[in-house]
Structure formats: structure tokens, C-alpha cells
Amino acid sequence: MNLDEMWLWWAALPTQVAPSTAPESGDWIGLIAGYIKDGAAVLGLTVATVGFIWVAYIGFAKFNDARQGRAEWAEVGIFGVVGATILIFASYLLTEAAGVF
């Protein structure tokens, strides 16, 4: 590949996506802060996703225990209510935290 072909290859690359805050041109601090904010939002979504998966896994395990007679069905119901409450509260907190920065 010669130099002319390399420049054409580089010219075909897509442009960089600006962060959601879209700082002014040349504002490096604003650009970095925007990327940090977007990264924090992705991290918060990851925490929420792991929480949903964890509650679902424990709920299925508790359901299986109740089916096999090792747990009461009331425990499954209580876990469902408490797990849903925790997930709703965690989602609310993560939504509020995303707007703070």
C-alpha cells in the first residue's frame, strides 16, 4: 500500500461521535467531561442490568426451592415484592444520578 492509498483509507474513516453534552469546538475540558458523563451513564445502566439479572436468578432459585419443598411459597411472594421494590428504587436512583453531573 503506497502513501496515496493510505491517505484515501484514512479519509474513509467515520467521524468521531461527540458526547451527549456537545461542547463548543476546541473545548477539550468540556469534551472530556462529556465523555465521562456518558461513561457514567453506561456504568449506571450496567449496574441496573446486573441488578435485574441477580434478582431474576435468585427469584428462579427461590421458585425452584419452593417447588421441591425446601422453601415456602410465601417466601417466593415476599422475594418478588421486595426484589421488585429494590429494582424500582435502584432504577430511580440511577436515573436521578444521571441528571446530576
In the predicted structure, residue 5 carries a pLDDT above the cut 70: no
In the predicted structure, residue 2 carries a pLDDT above the cut 70: no
Give the model's pLDDT for residue 75.
95
Taking the domains of the chain in order of start, what are their residue ranges?
42-101
Give percent of the chain with pLDDT exceeding 90. Answer: 43
Give the model's pLDDT for residue 16.
76
pLDDT 10s digits, 38-81: 898 889 889 889 999 999 999 999 999 999 999 999 999 999 99
Return d(Cα 21, Cα 24) in angstroms, integer: 10
In sequence order, what are the residues at sequence separation of 6 or more whose Cβ sits closer than 8 angstroms to the Cβ of residue 34? 18, 19, 20, 21, 22, 23
Overall size of the chain counted in residues: 101
Could you tell me which of 47, 45, 71, 46 has the C-alpha nearest to residue 58?
71
Q: Which residue has the higher pLDDT, 52 or 27?
A: 52
Return d(Cα 37, Cα 42) in angstroms, integer: 9
Cell numbers at 41, concatenated: 451513564
